């Protein structure tokens, strides 16, 4: 995997795809809009600026192109999830701290993502709307310990007050860079053509094989 993630070689930028998941009214779109607008504040009007956003970053001298994919939160579109999150480097799972149910949905997404994509995807669980602390229905402790138990990071944000959002994305980018670097090292330095390796024809040997030593596809985190 590590799709476009390749390219530690000097001068080349990392390209990361981050998918945004969460129930309808948790504010996932506002969160990203806030993040992307704040920085650029450009008046140029393009389509898709609320559902597909890009951002260029420079983190410790490393250039990063971030593509953020929004998804529809309605339950009846849940089954379409895999089409959107395939090949993602990161996922931001947003819930509303005043809505216990939305936290439950996040747990479902985590389970699904870990099952489908394993540990290669960096997960961020985000409790949004901390400006409504008084109406909190999801305990901080529960959320944080859950995140830890599934190998995800937990963040508290308020899109309304622009709190915690920069940190969230910065942190996520750093983690994705790390993952990409580990991945690159594992692959060796020889073939770091970004993307090219992924598409193209794959030949799979369907001769009966000896069972490999565990690990396999079922290792959910």
Among 51, 162, 181, 220, binds other proteins (CB under 8 A): 51
Per-residue contact track with other proteins, 19 to 38, x per CB under 8 A?
Answer: -----xx---x---x-----
Rounded Cα–Cα distance for residues 56 and 15 (Å): 9
Nearer to other proteins among residue 17 and residue 114 (C-beta) = 17
Smallest distance, Å, CB 34 to other proteins? 13
84 binds other proteins (CB under 8 A): yes
- Six-digit token pair at 128? 């949004």
| Residue with Cβ nearer other proteins (8 or 33) | 33
Q: Which residues pair with 59 in a beta bridge?
A: 62
Smallest gap, in angstroms, from Cβ of residue 4 to other proteins? 5
What is the C-alpha to C-alpha distance for residues 54 and 91, in angstroms, rounded to an integer? 15
Is 188 exposed, middle or buried (CB count within 10 Å of its CB: 0-12, 13-18, 19+)? exposed
Stretch that binds other proteins, among 69-77, 102-110, 115-123, 160-168 (CB under 8 A): 69-77
Interhelix angle 28-40/165-187, rounded to 10 degrees, is: 90
Query: Strand 90-96's sheet: what is its strand order?
Result: 52-59, 62-69, 14-22, 90-96, 122-128, 153-156
Q: Which residues bind other proteins (CB under 8 A)?
A: 3-4, 15-17, 24-25, 29, 33, 45, 47-52, 54, 67, 69-77, 79-80, 83-84, 87, 194-196, 198-200
């Amino acid at each position: 995997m590590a799709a476009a993630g390749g390219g530690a070689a000097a001068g080349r930028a990392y390209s990361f795809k981050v998918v945004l998941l969460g129930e309808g009214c948790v504010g996932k779109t506002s969160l990203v809009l806030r993040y992307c607008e704040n920085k650029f504040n450009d008046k140029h009007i393009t389509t898709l600026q609320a559902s597909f956003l890009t951002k260029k970053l420079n983190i410790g001298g490393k250039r990063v192109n971030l593509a953020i994919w929004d998804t529809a939160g309605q339950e009846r579109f849940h089954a379409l999830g895999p089409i959107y999150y395939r090949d993602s480097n990161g996922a931001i799972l947003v819930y509303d701290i005043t809505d216990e149910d939305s936290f439950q949905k996040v747990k479902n997404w985590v389970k699904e993502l870990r099952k489908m994509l394993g540990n290669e995807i960096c997960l961020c669980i985000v409790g949004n709307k901390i400006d409504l602390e008084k109406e909190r229905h999801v305990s901080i402790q529960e959320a944080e310990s859950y995140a830890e138990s599934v190998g995800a990071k937990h963040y508290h944000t308020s899109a309304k007050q622009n709190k915690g959002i920069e940190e969230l994305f910065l942190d996520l980018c750093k983690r994705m860079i790390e993952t990409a670097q580990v991945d690159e090292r594992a692959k060796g330095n020889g073939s770091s053509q970004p993307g090219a390796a992924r598409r193209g024809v794959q030949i799979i040997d369907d001769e009966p094989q000896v069972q490999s030593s565990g690990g396999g596809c079922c290792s959910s985190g």
